[in-house]
Amino acid sequence: MEKKRTAKWAQNWVLSEISASYEAGEAQIVSRMLIEWVTGQKAYHWIGGESDYLTDNQIQMIEQLLGRINTGEPIQYILRESWFYGRRYGVNPAVLIPRPETEEICYQIIHHYKQHRGLRILDAGTGSGCIACTLQLELVDSAVWALDVSESALNVARNNARENGAKVTFLEDNLLNLQAALPNDLDLLVSNPPYIPATEIREMARRVSAYEPHLALFTPDGDPFVFYRHLSELGKRLLKPGGRIVTEVHELYSQGVRAIFEAGGYEGVEIRRDMQGKERSVWGEFVSSS
């Protein structure tokens, strides 16, 4: 290898090594994350020019990490961190890796409620806690509850709340058979539930199917709408009149989820697209239980 091994040079090296496994945009993200982690420098320090030369130990570390990346292991699990709405979240295989599409939904919610104070919010199926923490920190004086069926996921979420200074009440419970005492005057019920039938596992990228938690990905009985039906009923129990339900969806199931919410009596049900133009979330307003 050449002697003048800068961070920019190292990123190009990583890109060449992983280009067969990732699309171009994702490869850029992965390579940047790896080099930032190894060097301790954000990319803006070195993308536009030269940087300090990497040490032999840093080069060896990159080689080791590349070996893990090329087996399919997600970079976020390797580094034990992911970034969401400008904040660092610890992640491990007990929780899904936060996605940019979920970040978009948080942005839409925050924009919608930016003039409100004291909102009461439930995040059903919190995983890493990124949605619950983001909404609590960005929406003034909000009270946030978050539940998950996985004790291991809740341990990750609680630690993320502590690290980011978010005040969230975490509860261990099963969305399909709720037992926990929950507030019945919510302004917002938000969820990114499992919706993938297990039969589709062969169609998924290995770094998702082999590493991310199946409990958070796949529906227990092959029905992609089972959690949405329970969410619809839960919202009617817990939302105050004028409260909203917001759920992340796969584009293939958005119309079905909208039909479930409309049949459940929600009004103004709408499908919102993400920045790639895919139908990504369904919103509905609860008017009255009568």
DSSP 3-state of 34: helix
Provide the β-strand partners of residue 145: 122, 169
Helices (H) and strands (E) in the chain, counts: 11, 9
How would you label 7-30 residue by residue, b for 16+ Cβ within 10 Å and e otherwise?
bbbbbebbbebbeebbeeeebeeb
- The confidence score (pLDDT) of residue 46 equals 67
Measured CA to CA in angstroms, residue 9 lies from 2, 5, 6 at distances of 10, 6, 5
Q: Could you tell me if 64 and 78 are in contact, meaning their C-beta atoms sit under 8 angstroms apart?
A: no
Q: Is 80 exposed, middle or buried (0-12, 13-18, 19+ CB in 10 A)?
A: exposed
- The confidence score (pLDDT) of residue 200 equals 80
Provide the β-strand partners of residue 172: 148
Q: What are phi and psi of 30, to 5 degrees?
A: -65, -45
- The confidence score (pLDDT) of residue 40 equals 87
Structure tokens at 75: 């970079």
Query: What domains can be seen in the chain, in order of their start residue?
Result: 7-71 (1.10.8.10), 96-285 (3.40.50.150)
The pLDDT profile of the chain, 290 residues, written as one tens digit per residue, is 455 788 888 989 999 999 888 888 889 999 999 999 998 888 776 666 666 788 999 999 999 999 999 888 999 999 999 999 999 999 999 999 999 999 999 999 999 999 999 999 999 999 999 999 999 999 999 999 999 999 999 999 999 999 999 999 999 999 999 988 899 999 999 999 999 888 788 778 778 888 889 889 888 777 999 999 999 999 999 999 999 999 999 999 999 999 999 999 999 999 999 999 999 999 999 997 65
pTM of the complete model: 0.92
Cα–Cα–Cα angle for 216, 220, 222, rounded to 5 degrees: 110
- The confidence score (pLDDT) of residue 221 equals 75
- The confidence score (pLDDT) of residue 1 equals 44
What's at 42, amino acid-wise? K
Q: Could you tell me if 175 and 141 are in contact, meaning their C-beta atoms sit under 8 angstroms apart?
A: no
Q: What are phi and psi of 167, to 5 degrees?
A: -100, 95
Measured CA to CA in angstroms, residue 27 lies from 44, 46, 47, 167, 276 at distances of 17, 17, 15, 35, 18
- The 10 Å Cβ neighbour count of residue 147 is 23
DSSP labels, 85-113: TTEEE---TTSPPP-HHHHHHHHHHHHHT
Structure tokens at 148: 């998950």
